[in-house]
Structure 1
Amino acid sequence: MKLVVVSAGLSVPSSTRLLGDRLAAAVGRQTPVDTEVVELRDLAVEIAHNFTSGFPGRKLAAALDAVTEADGLIVVTPVFSASYSGLFKSFFDVLDKDALAGKPVLIAATGGTARHSLVLEHALRPLFAYLRAVVVPTGVYAASEDWGAEGLDGRIERAAGELAGLMSGLSAKAPARAGGFEVVPFAEQLAALSAPSVRGR
């Protein structure tokens, strides 16, 4: 399965990229994935040109294809003015409107203070719901004081387990029958998602 991490971090090194890497590693511990990272910092000029020309440059086109073809996404943004960054939003504005329909997505964000933690619920979750993605229940926010804290590791593992469960359910179950698809009962899908949460309590 293909996992794509979209990181909107601006600095090098970036805490946003670090959080994305830790989430991807946690998913990889739970299910086999081939991980690709899309650094939006490197695509800023091509994203801007896409708005004025209507056509993506070579690197941007490759990034858009990677996101479209992924079996699951981890999206991570720094918080600016109590919301996602403009670069982050611009990338998803140039993505095809149907590219994320039905795709499992784990939302995450970084910021200087815990006061911005609700950005996951009031900004990121509505954005990806609008794009018709399947957003995992647990979002991960990391403030400056969270790095090295026990609670962050627990949230990372829980969210990664939810994403891995959705990715495995969608890809492994689909070709189970020749000439059609096996429908996974909703109760089974809920059980797969809730099992890691119960163990984590």
Structure 2
Amino acid sequence: MKLVGISGALIGSKTAKVVKEVLLRAKQKNPAIDIELIDLRKYKIEFVDGRPLESYNDDTKNAIEKIVEADFFVIGTPVYQASITGVLKNLFDHLPTTVFETKIVGFVSTAGSNHHSLVAENQLRPILSFFKALVGSKNVFVSNDSFDRENEIVNEDVGRRLNDLADELLFLQGKLKG
């Protein structure tokens, strides 16, 4: 069973940090699962332009392959200009429309202020619904004031909510797979 995290940011480390926290907490709770973080800062994903997937660069093909092969997911996005990132949307545009069908997906989002707390709910959830994902209910928003200067999560409530998200992903995946 493989849990893949996707961090949809090209700059900064907070979103990747939050996604990785969920992965690590899930692994701690169930050491039998495999976890992997797809941090888009480390990939050169080409823009979708209508070509078949096999004609894109290796980073694009490898990221898509990892997503297609995964069993369940946690997806993270920072909020820029009151929206999910373009690089994350571009990644979604590469995916087959059945990639998340009957797969468990949770999400996290980060932003500079609490004014953006519902962006992922209002924008990411409909995209995941289009892909027929089974979206969890314990998704987490993390504002910048939840981190210290070294980008460590210092807000205990955020830690509890990340733990709850990891629990929910494992629970739902266990129920789905029987």
TM-score, normalised by the number of residues in structure 2? 0.88
Residue aligning to 2:49: 51
What whole-Å deviation, never above 9, does each CA across 1:99-157 have from its counterpart, x for those lacking one?
Answer: 11011001111111111011122111111111100111111111111231111011101
Residue aligning to 1:146: 146
Residue aligning to 2:60: 60
Residue aligning to 2:132: 132
Distance in 2 (CA, whole Å) between partners of 1:3 and 1:47 is 24
From 158, 168, 173, give the equivalent of 1:162. Answer: 168
- Residue type of the partner of 2:38? V
Structure number with greater Rg is: 1
Residue aligning to 1:22: 21
Q: CA deviation at 1:9?
A: 2.1
Q: Is the 8 A contact 2:79 2:111 kept in 1?
A: yes
- Aligned counterparts, 1:26-41, within 5 A: 26-31=25-30, 32-41=32-41
Q: Is the 8 A contact 2:10 2:87 kept in 1?
A: no
Q: CA deviation at 1:159?
A: 0.9
- Higher helix content, 1 or 2: 1
Q: Does 1:103 align with 2:100?
A: no
Matched pairs, number: 169
**Which runs of 5 or more residues in structure 1 are unaligned?**
174-201
Distance in 2 (CA, whole Å) between partners of 1:53 and 1:133 is 25
Distance in 1 (CA, whole Å) between partners of 2:36 and 2:164 is 21
Q: CA deviation at 1:28?
A: 1.2
Q: In structure 2, the residue corresponding to 1:74 is in which secondary structure?
A: strand
- Residue type of the partner of 2:97? K
Q: CA deviation at 1:52?
A: 5.3
RMSD: 1.5
Q: CA deviation at 1:15?
A: 0.5
- Residue type of the partner of 2:51? S
Identity of aligned residues (%): 28
Distance in 1 (CA, whole Å) between partners of 2:34 and 2:103 is 16
What whole-Å deviation, never above 9, does each CA across 1:58-107 have from its counterpart, x for those lacking one?
Answer: 22112111111111111001101111000001101110011110110011
Q: Does 1:84 align with 2:84?
A: yes
Distance in 2 (CA, whole Å) between partners of 1:118 and 1:109 is 9
